[in-house]
């Protein structure tokens, strides 16, 4: 399950093959429902593109790992786009960076990390260069955006767990003029690793919004290249 960016709605994908959206403060019944992945080997869901779409990582009828994109306005219409990846028993776990609209996915026992840019128009999924490791990993966890090295145009930094080690992994955007602060890559970023209000305030009907911060170092000049 996954919370919407504004914290109001909850999306779930279940083993019964259904994708649902709830407004949990108003009702225990879903406000929308639609078909999820055809395969029943597990799935994950994440809100993308400013909360306008749901991206689901699951399996198709041939057990191929596949990404699906659904419009939150019409779950009952089914997926508007899909992107097959490979055949493997583990579910691809997504990490979505809203600043770049890039989703990073990998599964337990994989040696490859998939990277896609998601755009709100056809073809919706734009595959980027993947990351490959020499040995299988057990998991990949991501750090707050403030841990990224802006001077190297890092958009995500994580920790990869293998059988014998934990190692840092950085995901970078290729740029020539790294001496400039890439303002198209680094908009003010939401501080998602800190809560915006208490649970009791949320249950009482309050809505919070994460504060935003600039990642621009003091010694860098804005620019692109």
pLDDT greater than 70 at residue 67: yes
pLDDT of 128-145, one tens digit each?
A: 999 999 899 999 999 999
The H or E element that residue 199 is part of is helix 199-203
Query: Where do the domains of the chain lie, and which CATH numbers do they carry?
Result: 2-223 (2.130.10.10)
pLDDT of 27-42, one tens digit each?
A: 999 999 999 998 778 9
Burial readout 86-113 (b: 16 or more C-beta within 10 A, e: otherwise): eebeebbbbbbbbbbbbbbbbbeebebb
Q: How far apart are CA 105 and CA 143, in angstroms?
A: 15
Q: Average pLDDT, stretch 195-205? A: 92
pLDDT of 91-114, one tens digit each?
A: 999 999 999 999 999 999 999 999
Q: What percent of the chain has pLDDT over 90?
A: 85
- Mention every residue, 6+ apart, whose C-beta is less than 8 A from residue 16: none
The H or E element that residue 112 is part of is strand 112-118
* CA contacts within 13 A on the Cβ side of 180: 12
Q: How far apart are CA 117 and CA 100, in angstroms?
A: 8
pLDDT greater than 90 at residue 223: no
Q: With cut-offs at 50, 70 and 90, classify the pLDDT of residue 161.
A: very high
């Amino acid at each position: 399950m996954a919370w919407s960016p504004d914290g109001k709605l909850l999306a779930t994908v279940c083993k019964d093959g259904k994708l649902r959206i709830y407004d949990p403060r108003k009702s225990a019944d879903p406000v929308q429902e639609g078909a999820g992945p055809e395969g029943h080997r597990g799935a994950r869901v994440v809100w993308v593109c400013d909360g306008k779409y749901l991206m689901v990582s699951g399996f198709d009828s041939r057990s191929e790992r596949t990404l699906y994109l659904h419009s939150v306005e019409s779950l009952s219409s089914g997926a508007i786009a899909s992107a097959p990846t490979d055949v493997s028993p583990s579910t691809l776990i997504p990490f979505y960076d809203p600043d770049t609209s890039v989703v990073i996915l990998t599964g337990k026992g994989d040696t490859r990390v998939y990277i896609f840019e998601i755009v709100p128009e056809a073809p919706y999924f734009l595959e980027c260069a993947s990351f490959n490791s020499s040995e299988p990993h057990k998991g990949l966890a991501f750090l707050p955006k403030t841990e990224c090295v802006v001077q190297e145009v890092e958009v995500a930094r994580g920790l990869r767990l293998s059988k014998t080690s934990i190692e840092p992994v950085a995901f970078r955007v290729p740029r020539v003029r790294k001496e400039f602060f890439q303002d198209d890559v680094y908009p003010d970023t939401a501080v998602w690793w800190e809560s915006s209000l208490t649970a009791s305030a949320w249950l009482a009907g309050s809505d919070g919004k994460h504060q935003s911060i600039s990642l621009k170092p003091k010694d860098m000049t804005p620019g692109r290249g």
